[in-house]
């Protein structure tokens, strides 16, 4: 799995869908739901693109990235690095001979004073962050906050006048098949627009404990990281973050962090940092044979493998072997359901946990703790 590296341009199915819709062959479906806006996306792009920014970062030379550079000659083109970098593994390089690491990404302005949202992996660890607007203006940016677990970051620039902005939409309303538009800075080329559809929602790509991605076939490439994914109303419904690419080329499978999650994390980063609930258990999926014995159609719940000493779970009476079926009203069908439910609970709040304990269901009250970000 790679972060915002190339995607193949999607198959040109929009015209076909529009043609089918215009003939009225899709029963019970309004034609507007399938059609690209009249005249294309030109008006939408003209409205939103001034708020999409291009980000360049440099990172201080460290022994670690000096060693990385030692794997290949300085200045080797990126494509050759990808193909032949393994040939240079183990070659020593002194930190004083290494060059600052550079990277590019995208972002979008959400406040006229200069608040910008981007990916954590774009700016985390950067020594300098430079932001360029579509009108050519350049600004030095300050990193306000970074949340690696959701790959969301907030940076800030200062301008003499109000800046153009975009607003968040409701990602929960997006459905597979809905049209989307991605705007960003692929390969450092500057403003680039691609279109596609939502391929799937609530995707778990195993990149972290809070995966809940929107999958799209809109072309997303290296440098699109942190850029916005728009709906037909010009609202940000996702932030482009990762692609699936077995060989580094585009295969039409990209992933965006849903705007509902981005909004929540941004609000916390602007107010001092992200706070998450903590339960203190190690969990695993329910085995198929256990589900059959219990009479379930399919495995569900989270099996407790271990309970941390003196944790909220231990104090509430949760034990190894218990199966958590619901947490604070959220049914647990996958492990990430529990992870997200606990993380989204405010520390020191009480929550009801329904568990299967030695074959019997029981409800326990647990006072949720605060997750130490160093242990996340």
Q: How do residues 39-62 score in pLDDT, each as one tens digit?
A: 789 999 999 999 999 999 998 765
Is position 206 annotated as part of the catalytic site?
A: no
Domain extent at residue 178? 14-49+171-269
Give CA 93 to chain center in angstroms.
34
Strands lying side by side in the sheet with 128-132: 138-140, 128-132, 52-59, 101-111, 115-118, 152-156, 142-147
Is position 121 annotated as part of the catalytic site?
A: yes
In a domain, 3, yes or no: no
pTM: 0.77
Catalytic residue among 49, 106, 151, 337: 151
Regarding whether 222 and 306 lie in a shared domain, the answer is no
Cα separation, 137 vs 24, in Å, equals: 47
Which of residues 247, 269, 291 is at a domain's end?
269
pLDDT in tens, 303-356: 999 999 999 999 999 999 999 999 999 999 999 999 999 999 999 999 999 999
Confidence bin at 14 (pLDDT 50/70/90): very low
In a domain, 163, yes or no: no
How many separate domains does the chain show? 3
Polymer length of the chain: 376
Regarding whether 38 and 175 lie in a shared domain, the answer is yes
CATH code of the domain covering residue 370: 2.30.42.10
Regarding whether 236 and 92 lie in a shared domain, the answer is no
Is position 225 annotated as part of the catalytic site?
A: yes
Which of residues 269, 297, 323 is at a domain's end?
269
Phi then psi for 219, rounded to 5 degrees? -65, 120
Catalytic residue among 4, 121, 147, 250: 121
Catalytic residue among 225, 250, 259, 326: 225
């Amino acid at each position: 799995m790679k972060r915002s590296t190339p995607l193949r341009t999607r198959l040109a199915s929009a015209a076909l869908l529009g043609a089918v819709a215009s003939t009225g062959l899709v029963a019970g479906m309004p034609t507007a739901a399938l059609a690209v806006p009249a005249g294309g996306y030109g008006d939408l792009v003209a409205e939103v693109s001034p708020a999409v920014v291009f980000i360049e970062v440099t990172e201080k030379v460290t022994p670690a990235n000096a060693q990385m550079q030692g794997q290949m000659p300085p200045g080797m083109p990126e494509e050759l690095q990808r193909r032949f970098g393994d040939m240079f593994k183990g070659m020593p390089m002194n930190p004083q001979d290494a060059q600052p690491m550079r990277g590019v990404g995208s972002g979008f302005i959400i406040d006229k004073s200069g608040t910008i949202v981007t990916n954590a992996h774009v700016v985390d660890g950067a020594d300098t962050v430079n932001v360029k607007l579509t009108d050519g203006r350049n600004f030095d940016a300050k990193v306000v906050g970074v949340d690696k677990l959701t790959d969301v970051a907030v940076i800030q620039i200062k301008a003499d006048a109000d800046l153009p902005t975009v607003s968040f939409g409701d990602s929960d309303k997006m459905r597979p098949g809905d049209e989307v538009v991605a705007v960003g800075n692929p390969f450092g080329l500057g403003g680039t627009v691609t279109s596609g559809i939502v391929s799937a929602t609530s995707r778990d790509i195993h990149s972290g404990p809070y995966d809940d991605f929107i999958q799209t076939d809109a072309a997303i490439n290296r440098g699109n990281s942190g850029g916005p994914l728009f709906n037909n109303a010009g609202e940000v419904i996702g932030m482009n973050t990762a692609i699936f690419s077995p060989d580094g080329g585009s295969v039409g499978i990209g992933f965006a962090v849903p705007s509902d999650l981005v909004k929540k994390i941004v609000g916390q980063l602007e107010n001092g940092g992200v706070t998450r609930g903590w339960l203190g258990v190690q969990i695993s999926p329910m085995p198929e044979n256990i589900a059959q014995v219990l009479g379930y159609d399919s495995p569900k719940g989270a099996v407790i493998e271990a309970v941390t000493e003196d944790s909220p779970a231990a104090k509430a009476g949760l034990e190894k072997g218990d199966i958590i079926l619901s947490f604070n009203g959220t049914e647990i069908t996958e492990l990430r359901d529990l992870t997200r439910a606990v993380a989204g609970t405010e520390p020191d709040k009480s929550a009801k946990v329904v568990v299967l304990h030695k074959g019997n269901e029981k409800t326990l009250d647990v006072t949720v703790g605060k997750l130490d970000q160093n242990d996340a």
